[in-house]
Amino acid sequence: MTLPRTVRYDDLTRIRATRPGEIARAAANRQRRGLPGDGERLLIIAADHPARGSLAVRDRPMAMASRPDLLDRLQVALARPGVDGILASPDVLEDLLLLGALEGKLAFGSMNRGGIQGSVFELDDRFTGFDAASIDAMRLDGGKMLCRIDPADHATVATLESCARAVTDLARRQLMAMVEPFWSLRSETGSVRNDLSPDAVIRAISVGQALGVTSAYTWLKIPAVAEMERVMAATTLPALLLGGDPPDIDAAYADWARAMRLPGVRGLVVGRALLYPPDDDVATAVDAAATLVRGAGS
């Protein structure tokens, strides 16, 4: 993958060191776009994985470690027709703002990245990124929160309370709250696993959609699993399918295509699967996802 660079990435460091106010000015001047109309679907690129220490893609343990490489891939993806926006942590969004890559795109801020992958406190999904006030001040379009629910982990109740507060704070500003609920558990070795059975996803949706004083601005971010008709019958909220890091990308596309036919599914939020495809052809991977999303909305 090659990308002609019009901005040197060391300029980003120079701006941050000498003119940090440029970030706020770029956010204030960014050309925004609206949420989709009836029948439209969204394709959002996700890039908040590094903020939780999650750098691996398939068999590449440090795939997302290089920030210039990640920014190259994000700029390729965001420039493709049919890509509506991005979901990222503050540092990534700020780099893209300075690069001018977010013009006319939706931008969602990742809010809770405290559950570092592989840590003893992984299920303590504390809010360490954006809050509702900063999302509003930067003229972003909403905030995303991970909400992992483990009945055996005392940290879950704090996560639920924090997510509820974030949903409320975003709704008061009429900003989207993108809630990503999972029913989770720890294995005997201590690793965290999300239960992707239909019953577990339904249970997670039932809790996640009730967070906050209103669900008027809440969208769900959920996996495409078996029995999606029954899963989507658990909610009247709009839902976006998450991409994850599927071992079989062709099977993932088939799962997304089937789920996308359901009226409550409003699009895809995909990161690693499109940014780091097996052949490193980001443009082709993104175009295939965009074709899938647009075909579902027609």
Compute the average pLDDT of residues 279-292.
96
Compute the average pLDDT of residues 121-135.
96
Q: Look at 29-43, 139-153, 255-269 and tell me which has the smallest mean pLDDT.
A: 29-43
Q: Look at 89-103, 127-141, 183-197, 276-290 and tell me which has the smallest mean pLDDT.
A: 183-197
Q: What is the reported pTM?
A: 0.95
Asked whether residue 33 is assigned to any structural domain, the reply reads no
- Whether 195 shows a pLDDT value over 90: the answer reads yes
Yes or no: say if 252 and 246 are a contact pair by the CB < 8 Å rule: yes
Yes or no: say if 167 and 218 are a contact pair by the CB < 8 Å rule: yes
Asked whether residue 23 is assigned to any structural domain, the reply reads no
| Block residue for tokens 């969004």 | 93
Q: Could you tell me whether strands 176-186 and 218-222 are parallel, antiparallel, or unpaired per DSSP bridges? A: parallel
Instruction: Return the higher-pLDDT residue of 33 and 136.
Output: 136
Asked whether residue 245 is assigned to any structural domain, the reply reads yes
Q: What are the structure tokens assigned to 209, written together? A: 């959609």
**211: CATH:** 3.20.20.70
Q: According to the model, what pLDDT value does residue 226 have?
A: 95
Share of the chain above pLDDT 90, in %: 86
Give the total number of structural domains in the chain.
1
Asked whether residue 17 is assigned to any structural domain, the reply reads no
Q: According to the model, what pLDDT value does residue 38 have?
A: 81
Asked whether residue 157 is assigned to any structural domain, the reply reads yes
Average pLDDT over the chain, rounded to whole? 94
- Whether 7 shows a pLDDT value over 70: the answer reads no
Asked whether residue 173 is assigned to any structural domain, the reply reads yes
Find the largest Cα–Cα distance for the chain: 54
Q: According to the model, what pLDDT value does residue 64 have?
A: 96
| Rounded Cα distance, 162 and 159, in Å | 5
Q: According to the model, what pLDDT value does residue 4 have?
A: 45
Instruction: Dump strand ranges (E) for the chain.
Output: 42-47, 85-88, 106-110, 142-149, 176-186, 192-194, 218-222, 239-242, 265-270
Asked whether residue 292 is assigned to any structural domain, the reply reads yes
Q: Look at 249-253, 275-279, 280-284 and tell me which has the smallest mean pLDDT.
A: 249-253
Asked whether residue 45 is assigned to any structural domain, the reply reads yes
Residue-wise pLDDT tens digits, 234-266: 999 999 999 888 888 889 999 999 999 999 999
Q: According to the model, what pLDDT value does residue 298 have?
A: 57
**Closest among 27, 87, 95 to 240, alpha carbons compared:** 87
| Crossing angle of helices 249-260 and 282-297, rounded to 10° | 20
| Rounded Cα distance, 183 and 149, in Å | 5
- Count of CA atoms in the C-beta half-sphere (13 A) of 222: 35
User: 3-class SS at 26?
Assistant: helix
Q: According to the model, what pLDDT value does residue 34 have?
A: 85
Instruction: Return the higher-pLDDT residue of 120 and 2.
Output: 120
Residue-wise pLDDT tens digits, 61-108: 999 999 999 999 999 999 999 999 999 999 999 999 999 999 999 999
Q: 278: burial class by Cβ within 10 Å (0-12, 13-18, 19+)?
A: exposed
- Per the structure, the complete domain to which residue 56 belongs is given by 40-297
Q: According to the model, what pLDDT value does residue 190 have?
A: 82
| Block residue for tokens 């965001």 | 78
Yes or no: say if 281 and 257 are a contact pair by the CB < 8 Å rule: no
**Closest among 119, 139, 140, 116 to 128, alpha carbons compared:** 116
- Whether 279 shows a pLDDT value over 60: the answer reads yes
